[in-house]
Structure 1
Amino acid sequence: MIKFLDLKQVNDQYQAEILAAAERVIKSGWYIKGEELEQFEQAFAAYCGTQYCIGVGNGLDALTLSLRAWKEQGRINDGDEVIVPANTYIASILAIIESGLTPVLVEPCLDTYNIDHRQIQNRISEKTKVLLPVHLYGQLAEMDKINDIAKAHNLLVLEDAAQAHGAEAFGRKAGAFGDAAGFSFYPGKNLGALGDGGGITTNDAEFADIVRSLGNYGSEAKYQHRYAGINSRLDELQAAILSVKLKHLDNENARRRAIAANYVANIDNRLITLPNLADGKSQAWHLFVIRCDDRKGFMSHLSDNGVQAQIHYPTAPHKQVALRGMTTESFPITENIHDTVVSLPLNPTISDDEVSHVIEVCNAYVSP
């Protein structure tokens, strides 16, 4: 069976470096908010092309703390609206709700799966304060057009870059397009820790200071609490491991792009809709997502022929029990995407022979 993702195999590539980093942290006797975190934050900020990176507990916290920091700055208030794609992972919307704000859902483009900038304009109201584009599956949203809209309406832009480490366009990387960006370092991400982790990038010094405080119980100095904060910190061990893996990220992304290009060039089946292959430099290819009307039958075919696939994501956020009552609107494009998407295996450790087998199995699929 070709696994969808084998994290052991991914991390085994760097086992010696990871063990050395872990040993260094253990022997240091310092495990929270130390030199390892500072070094990773500086390195990741430089990688993304921003002045600051703040390590936090996870990707959800990265979005939530960003919104909360803007509230502390007086730039947004309870009940303000945040425009977000309707087909995102639920975390994007949970961050908005948790921050006391109101999510406004917008349909995506079917060919990119990212928010349709043409529909954003129609959803802006006097209460709109933030645009939250999601670089879904590793492809950058149309940030030039989104930023133009934000500038015209004096809106803040928060990138959800949880799946887009290293995605690039216009000579800039994900995390450097908005006023701030939230990243996840969940183990399965392109840049993944060996546990939960997240980060926020920005060029706003005051914002960065507030985020650091909010994630440290609202404290700017020991036992002095300016804000009603939370505990959300990227620990020394995960920071050290991420520093190791950051050095290899570009090479891994290059391998992802090569696999994706192979899939696009050679999967030829009218029953399968392939993703849009954008400029290779702009797509991080966190996931390779196709669509198939008979998803159940197609996934059974893959499994029967030794290919493990997954669904990202089977249920649209507005259809989740947790968000019932959030909206009465219909989102047919979003619902179609969630009903038909299938993620094929794509990670840097898949061999060329395995890629060829996935292609052969996809091409052999016939409708029942």
Structure 2
Amino acid sequence: MLVPRYGYPAQFDDVDGLTRSITDLMLSGDHILGKPVEQFEHAFADYCGARHAVGLNSGTDALILALHALGVGPGDEVVTVANTFHSTVLAIARVGATPVLVDCTGTDYMMDVDLLEAAVTPRTRAVVAVHMFGEVLDMDRITAFTGKHGLALVEDCAQAVGARRGGRPVGTFGDIGCFSFHPSKNLAAAGDSGAAVTGDPALAERLRRLRGLGQQGQNDHVELGYSSRMDSVQALVLSHKLPRLDGWNRSRRALAERYTAALAGSAVTVPPASDAHVFHMFQTVVPERDRTLAALREAGVDAVVRYPVPIPRQPAFAPYAFDADAFPHADFLAHNALCLPLRPDMDDDDIDLVAGTLRSITG
């Protein structure tokens, strides 16, 4: 690929030092929830402006454990957005609750907050607010809404690590913020990994207990938990990268601005972006999406379609009998949106090449 989606070598400016740390760790045997994990948890909590961070196996597990820790379960309903990754809704189902979906908007493609009120029933227990693509939801409205109805609030920050609204980091507006460090993310582990942050010490303690098989102490299992512990190698990788995250996010924003300018006046639609956006993805709407995608890839541009099957149309969620036609904006994106490569190590020539190729393809 002339312009690939990922550029992992650029994420390691001292790979020899990191390799030595990993070698020492392997020899020490401190492999799971060891000192490197504790150090990363403290550093990540400080970075997020949260009192507590709990290292976990994945972003998916972060969502599941967050809902479990908040007491969400069978008989409860949880409201979230139809335009999201499978894991957001899977987590709701996994704790035995019923997912209730609202559509995204037709402008920025984020959760349509205006639709939340109609989604609430006497069984509603929580809202999962998803910061899609690296953009930040209007958390003032959402926290006012959840406060009014007495609902728990979980933030799905898998795509928005480092984003801030009004100077406040995502993940700290609700009861628990959930992060993914999948290798595709802005802060990427060398495998699966995730974390949950909270300002509530009781919730933090329950999250730690749940991640370790429900143990209060060695072999003292006080509840049914999970095996969802961050391993120390991932913590070393994440600690190596965390100080670089803000710089990478600034680069992403600058490159996104150049994309937007280069595509202005073309047949390509670029959604509006707030100053908070950290551009995990550069989402566009293009004519003849599938043909355009094939032509881009043929030209060496590693574009990709995210979420080609909206949540209401996924077979795994058939038992919930969603009205699949009730989410027209999510459907529209599934058929018309694609993501252009955006990495912090790209330069202006890369952006101009991709944008020029796309303009040529779309006429």
Verify: 1:314 aligned to 2:308, yes or no: yes
**Alignment-derived partner of residue 250 in structure 1:** 246
**SS of the counterpart of 1:38?**
helix
- Does structure 1 retain, via aligned residues, the 8 Å contact 2:155–2:178? yes
Deviation per residue, 1:329-367 (Å, 9 max, x gap): 221111111111100000112222111101211222235
1:135 CA drift (Å): 0.4
Report the residue type matching 2:169 in the other structure: K
5+ long unaligned stretches in structure 1: none
Q: What amino acid maps onto 1:241 in structure 2?
A: V
Paired residue for 1:106?
102
In structure 2, the residue matched to 1:135 is 131
Q: Which amino acid aligns with 1:2?
A: L
Deviation of 1:12 after TM superposition, in Å, equals 4.2
- Contact 1:166–1:253 at 8 Å: present in 2 too? yes
Deviations for 1:102-154, whole angstroms, at most 9, x for unmatched residues? 10000111222211111101111111110101001110111110000011111
Q: 1:18: which partner in 2?
A: 18
Residue-pair matches, total? 361
Q: Displacement, 1:325?
A: 3.2
RMSD of equivalent CA atoms: 1.4
- 2:289 is aligned to 295
- Aligned match of 2:199: 203
Letter of the structure 1 residue corresponding to residue 30 of structure 2 = W
For the 8 Å contact 2:7–2:343, the answer to whether it is kept is no
- TM-score, with normalisation over the residues of structure 2? 0.96
Q: Percent identity?
A: 34
Cα pair distance change 1:313/1:37, threshold 3 Å: same
> What is the aligned partner in structure 1 of residue 56 from structure 2?
56
Indicate the residue corresponding to 2:342 in structure 1: 346
Distance in 1, Cα, partners of 2:144 & 2:278: 24
Deviates more, 1:92-101 or 1:8-17: 8-17
1:283 is aligned to 277
The SS at the match of 2:144 is: helix
Write out aligned runs for 1:1-368 (5 A).
1-71=1-71, 76-279=72-275, 282-329=276-323, 330-366=326-362
Counterpart of 1:289 in structure 2: which amino acid?
Q
Alpha-carbon offset, residue 239 of structure 1: 0.6
How far, CA to CA, are the matches of 1:366 and 1:138 in structure 2? Answer: 26
What is the alpha-carbon distance in structure 2 between the residues aligned to residue 255 and residue 290 of structure 1? 19
CA distance in structure 1 between the partners assigned to 2:6 and 2:112 by the alignment: 33
Other structure's SS at 1:187 match: coil
Q: Displacement of 1:14 after TM fit?
A: 4.1
**CA–CA distance in 1 between the matches of 2:141 and 2:291?**
39
**Do 1:275 and 1:288's aligned partners in 2 also have CA atoms closer than 8 Å?**
no
- The code of the aligned residue for 1:43 comes to A
- Would you say the 8 A contact 1:17–1:244 is kept in 2? no
Deviation, 1:2, is 2.8
CA distance, structure 1, for counterparts of residue 254 and residue 293 of structure 2:
24
Letter in 2 for 1:273: T
| Offset, 1:302 | 1.4
SS in 1 for 2:130: coil
**Contact 1:261–1:277 (8 Å) recurs in 2:** no
CA–CA distance in structure 2, aligned partners of residues 13 and 240 of structure 1:
14
Q: Which amino acid aligns with 1:243?
A: S
Q: Distance in 2 between the 1:13 and 1:188 partners?
A: 18
Q: Answer whether contact 1:264 1:277 (CA < 8 A) is retained.
A: no
In 1, the alpha carbon distance for the partners of 2:7 and 2:320 equals 36
Paired AA for residue 218 in structure 1:
G
Which range is displaced more, 115-124 or 7-16?
7-16
For 2:4 and 2:168, how far apart are their aligned partners in 1?
30
- Whichever residue aligns with residue 188 of structure 2, its letter is G
Contact between 1:138 and 1:284, CA under 8 Å: does it hold in 2?
yes
TM-score, normalization: structure 1?
A: 0.95
The one-letter code of the counterpart of 1:32 is I
In 2, the alpha carbon distance for the partners of 1:245 and 1:84 equals 31
Distance (Å, rounded) in 1 between the aligned partners of 2:264 and 2:194? 38
Answer whether contact 1:4 1:344 (CA < 8 A) is retained: no
- In structure 2, the CA distance between the partners of 1:138 and 1:17, relative to structure 1 (3 Å rule), is farther
